[in-house]
Structures are given as structure tokens and as C-alpha cells.
Structure 1
Amino acid sequence: MVLSEERKALLQTQVELWNQTLSFMKSVALAVALDLRITDAIRHRGGGTATLPQILSGIGINPCKLASLRHLMRVLTIAGTFAIQPLETSSGRHDEPVYKLAPVSCLLTGGDVSENTTSSLSPMLSHVLYPFHDSVLSMGLAAWFRHDEEPGKCLYTLMDGVTLWEMVDVSGGVGGAAATIAAAFPSLKCTVLDLPHVVAKAPSVRNVQFVAGDMFESIPPANAIFLKYVPHDWGDDKCIKLLKNCKKAIPSRDAGGKVIIIDIVVGSSPSDIKLLETQVLCDLHFMEIGGVERDQQEWKKIFLAAGFKDYNIMLLGLRSIIELYP
């Protein structure tokens, strides 16, 4: 797919705007790091370095939060709060990442009375960052990390008692994307699948039919399936279940069957630091509702688990177009 320079500029502008909008998540991440005393957990280990499991143990958090801690640390390393170095294995390969203190984090000591902490900025920073501590913006992220009685619940559910999807559907299930596709390609017949209460409000759109159902149960047969901003709302198990249903609904690759996904691929352009930062900030933001923004290896893992054989990724600004083949 070839984009004009004008469209490329527009996509880059969108990245810039999202970066400005989500920059507050860096303050949220720093507030959580101070609250959990991640700096102390790293500093107190021999050599001043630690892996994720070691940090988890050092801050006394349930192992079920390991994946979430990885996503938090990804934001903190991109922001420069901590540094990361690869672990050299005996075979010469790099395995699990090891975190160490960056110049910034050397000023974030917890303030143990037995240590010289006169240069620590933690007390002042904690005061300044207090609005992010338990605010609607952070949704009590530090408290959620400590909460291990209901490990399967995202912090949104713990705070409100229901999932986001039990309150309002925000996936655009009334056919906006399908209507645009049908208008651009009049020969196509499009079907929109969504929950019954969403479909009931759908408008009449030419060449677009609406089907009430549950994508985790079954998907109507089609030559191609389009998932726009859907997988990032769900954890791996749910995504694998969804993609397995997609695979059942489409023909073989030789017959033209494929799944088209529009979503973020973290690190899709490693040299673009602004893009990478925006992607990981999106990831931390979506973690609040139990969602996740995945890098290519994480996408590959769920594709293979769902039984797909091949995929292709095309960068499209903040997000990417993923073509997935059975």
C-alpha cells in the first residue's frame, strides 16, 4: 500500500496529537513506581539490577500481576525513569530483560532512615503527583497492583463493579466502518456482527446487513473478517477464542480467506521514538480496562495459538493493518 505524502503527514500528526493527549500516563506511571517503591526493589538487589520476577518479589506483588508489571516498566523505560539491559545467556543469546537504575531513578530512593537520602526527590515528587495517585485518571493503579483477592478482574471492574462492556458498547457496532467500505466498494456485501442491544439501534445502510450475536460464540461465514480496534480490548485467552471463531468462518487462503485487523503493533517502527512512546502510553491506558497493546511477538503468539499460519503487517501511523491468513 502506497500512501501519498499528504496522508503520511496526516498520520504523523495523529501520532503527535495522541502523544500529547496521553502524556499524562507518564505521570501516572511515575506515581505508581513511587508508590510501589520499584526503585528500592532494584537498588537493594546485588549489582543494582533486577528482572521482572525479582522486582515483583521485591515490591511484594502477587505473581499474577507479572504481565501488567512488564507493561508498566515498558512505559517507565521509554520515559527514561529506568534503563534496560539484555541478559546474556550461556548460549550467547539475549533472554529476559534486566532493569537497572537510570540517572533519573537514582533520585527516587524511598527514604529508608538507614540510608543517605538527602538527594532523594521522592517526597516532593509524591506530593506533586498526588492528584494522580487515586484519581479517575489513574483509577487507583497502584492499589490494583496490590490487590490479589480477585486476580482476574481489571481495575475498572474492581472500582465500578462491572466491566466497561456491561455499561456501554464503544466498538462502533452500528456500522460506521462497514458503511464506509460499502460506499467505496459498491459490489461488496458487508455484514456487521455485534451484541443484540447494539444491533437494535443500527441504522439502515445500503449493502450492509446487521446480525445480532456474540463474537466469542460464533461468527457468520464470510470471505474476509474485519476487526477494527477490537483485539486490544481483550486479554490473550479471549483474543485466541475470537480468532479461532474467525478462522472457522472464512475459507482457505487459496480461496481468498483472511482476517484484517487494524490495531497497534508496539514497536512497529523502532526508530520513531515518538511513535513508540505513544504506543506504550496507549498500552498502559488500556490496561485499566483489561486490554493490551501487543508487539509483533505477542501478536504472533496469539495468531499461532488460534491456528493461523501466516500474517503481514503494514504500518499505518499509530496503528497497523494486519492481514492474517489461515
Structure 2
Amino acid sequence: MASSNGRKASEIFQGQVHLYKYFFAHTIDAMSLKWIVELGIPDVIHNHGQPITLPKLVSILQVPPTKVSGVQSLMRSLAYKGFFEIVSVHEDREEKEAYALTVTSELLVKGSDLCLAPMVEGFVDPTLSGIWSDLKKWTYEDGLTLYDVSLGSNLWEFLDKNPACNKLFNEIMASDSQMMNMALRGCNWVFEGVESIVDVGGGTGITAKVISEAFPNMKCIVLERPSVVENLPETNNLTYIGGDMFNSIPKADAVLLKLILHNWSDKDCRKILENCKESISDKGKKGKVIVIDVVINENEDEHELTELKLLMDVSMACLINGKERREEEWKKLFEEAGFQSYKISSLTGYLSLIEIYP
């Protein structure tokens, strides 16, 4: 049987499955993650010391009997998606089904060295996630971001006016920085010979602290919005400066732009990079700018990795008028800002490290 457009019924059914998958996933996948974080299920399994059966889990969580079936549905769905592993355990002389943590859900154990739970709590917060319902309106509002359209101000203005959201945003950035810091510990060669560095937009200094501890003789400066760095404790080689990267960047051997440039348009990025070049101008060929950001490469990356990068590109474009870039786009940007050469190295699963030279 064929439809009026020539499609086979089997193709149409496949299209339906594809549509329904994303249709339901939009809400259920994200909120399921929020659910396990809010209930502390990864913490329960971690503290249990071994895979946990459903009866034991619902007992610890004090789940009413009428909701046990629903909890099981959620756990099985999350296990299928790789957030838990279903294994067999011997309990009360019987072999029973149990849930074990995977490498992904281990990242949601609170208090661990690498905890991304704040990312989940923050990005599915109704205030921040609800703005996507205004996507149609955003399409026709010239120059405005989703934040402008939905909340009446851009992200940075909104954060300055809402201390609770600002605190949550900083927690999100800090948790993400933990992963990046783990990667940077294996990249000491990047900082060899660097006597001073400015971490532009460095938040509360999570990454700068790692660098300053690894290189105690290096002078580390964090340049950030005044409201973020006000009253933060400094050390012998770590200082904070409240300022604006569009006006000027303190002089140093190197400038670090960690997930900064994808927030901005090409025009704005050129201005930031020009200020970076001015910052390292006294260092001649010894100076450099270190960019940590996404490089889209569909031809070499695995499908799941490209899918993530393209989702991030949509997020940057809609939320803050930014973008993720392919190598040829990065190259054009560097050349237009007056730099002569660059080198791209792999850093994490989705981030690259780019060294740019004047």
C-alpha cells in the first residue's frame, strides 16, 4: 500500500515513530533527569554500595504503593537510554532485577568531585526552559534573543536582576568547569612558559584556581562581571578584576577564552579577539590566546557528538544570538581579528582547545 505522495506505509510508520520519539522526548527525557536528581536516586544507589532492586529503592524513597509501577516505568526508560544498567543480584536467596549506576548517572551523584547535577537542575528550571515555548515569536522579532522575547531582557541583564537565577547559573558554570578542569590537568604543555594569564569571563575562578595551583609561579587574573567577582578571596597568584571584555583586557602573556566566543556574533567575537591581541601585544610571538570551545566537524565526529554540537548551536543562536562554528569559520574569525596562525587540539568529548598566535 502506498500513500498519495508515493511513500510506502512502512516508511510513513517509521516517520511517525521518529516524530513521536522527539515529540515525547522534549518533555519526558529532560523532566525524567530532573526527577532522578530531585529524588536523589543516583545518591541512593551510590550510598547503597551496590545495584538496588526496585522494592528497595521505593522503600528508601517512601514511594506510595500506587506509584511504584510509574517509578518502574521511569527507571526502565532511563536504563534503556543509558542512565542506569539493569543487572541481576542475589537477594533473599533469589535472583532479582536491580539498577546500577552507569558512567552517566555517576555524574549526578551529589558531592562527588565531578557532579553535573546543577546542570540538570538549572537547564530544566521552568524559568529558563519555559522560554522555548516562545520560539515562533522569536523568529519574527528582529535581533532579539529568546530571553529578550520571553523575559524582557537579555541573559546577562536578567541574571544581574535576579540573584537566585544568577546563583544557579554560576553553579551550572562551576559544575561544567569541573569536567573541563579534569581535561586541562592533562594539558600542562599549553601553559608552559606562560608567566601570566587572564581568564576572560572566568566566573568565580574555578578554572583559574586549577591553573594557579598547577603553576604557582604564574600570575592568574579572572576578568568577569563585577557582580560575580565582588568579595571573592584572592591568593598570592590569583586575583579578580571586575570589568568588560569589550572595553579592555588586562595585559598578560596569554588570554583564556573558555566557552566565551560561542556566546557572541562574529562581529562581537572580532572585537573580543582584537582586545585579546592588544592584551598580549607586548609579548610578541610569545603571546597567545587560548580558546576552549566547540568545533563542529560532521565528517569526523560520531553521530551522537555532532547531534550534541548542533543542539548547542541552536541553543546559542536562539538564546543569546551566538553560534557554534566549523573550523573554516574559526579560521576566518581569527584572520579578521589580525592573528596569523592557530592550532586545534582535542580537549574533551565535545570541546576543542585552540591556540591562536599573533
Return the match for 1:163 from 154, 171, 177. 154
Corresponding residue for residue 318 of structure 1: 350
Paired with 1:125 and 1:226, the residues of 2 have a C-alpha distance of 42
TM-score where L is the length of structure 2: 0.52
Give the alignment of 1:1-326 within 5 angstroms: 128=23, 136=130, 138-145=132-139, 147-148=140-141, 151-168=142-159, 170=170, 172-251=202-281, 254-267=284-297, 270-289=300-319, 290-316=321-347, 317-326=349-358
Contact 1:258/1:323, CA 8 A, preserved across alignment: yes
Contact 1:179/1:205, CA 8 A, preserved across alignment: no
Contact 2:294/2:352, CA 8 A, preserved across alignment: yes
Q: In the TM superposition, what is the alpha-carbon distance from 1:222 to its structure 2 partner? A: 0.6
Return the index of the structure with the highest Cα Rg.
2
Aligned length in residues? 210
| Partner deviation per Cα, 1:178-198 (whole Å, 9 max, x = no partner) | 111000011101111112222
Q: In the TM superposition, what is the alpha-carbon distance from 1:155 to its structure 2 partner? A: 1.6
> 2:216 aligns to what SS in structure 1?
coil
Q: Call closer, same or farther: CA 1:161–1:208 in 2, change over 3 Å.
A: same
Structure 1: 5+ residue stretches without partners:
1-42, 44-101, 109-118
Q: In the TM superposition, what is the alpha-carbon distance from 1:137 to its structure 2 partner? A: 6.6
Structure 2: 5+ residue stretches without partners:
28-128, 160-165, 171-200
Q: Call closer, same or farther: CA 1:277–1:126 in 2, change over 3 Å.
A: closer
| Partner deviation per Cα, 1:205-231 (whole Å, 9 max, x = no partner) | 331111121100111111100111111
Q: In the TM superposition, what is the alpha-carbon distance from 1:250 to its structure 2 partner? A: 0.3
Q: In the TM superposition, what is the alpha-carbon distance from 1:126 to its structure 2 partner? A: 12
Corresponding residue for residue 35 of structure 1: none
Q: In the TM superposition, what is the alpha-carbon distance from 1:304 to its structure 2 partner? A: 1.3
Moved more, 162-171 or 259-268: 162-171
RCO comparison, higher one (Cα < 8 Å, 6+): 1
Paired with 1:252 and 1:103, the residues of 2 have a C-alpha distance of 67
- Give the superposed CA RMSD: 3.4
> 1:209 aligns to what SS in structure 2?
strand
- Paired letter, 2:157: E
Q: Call closer, same or farther: CA 1:270–1:246 in 2, change over 3 Å.
A: same
Identify, as 1 or 2, the structure richer in helix.
2
- Paired letter, 1:297: E
Moved more, 238-247 or 277-286: 277-286
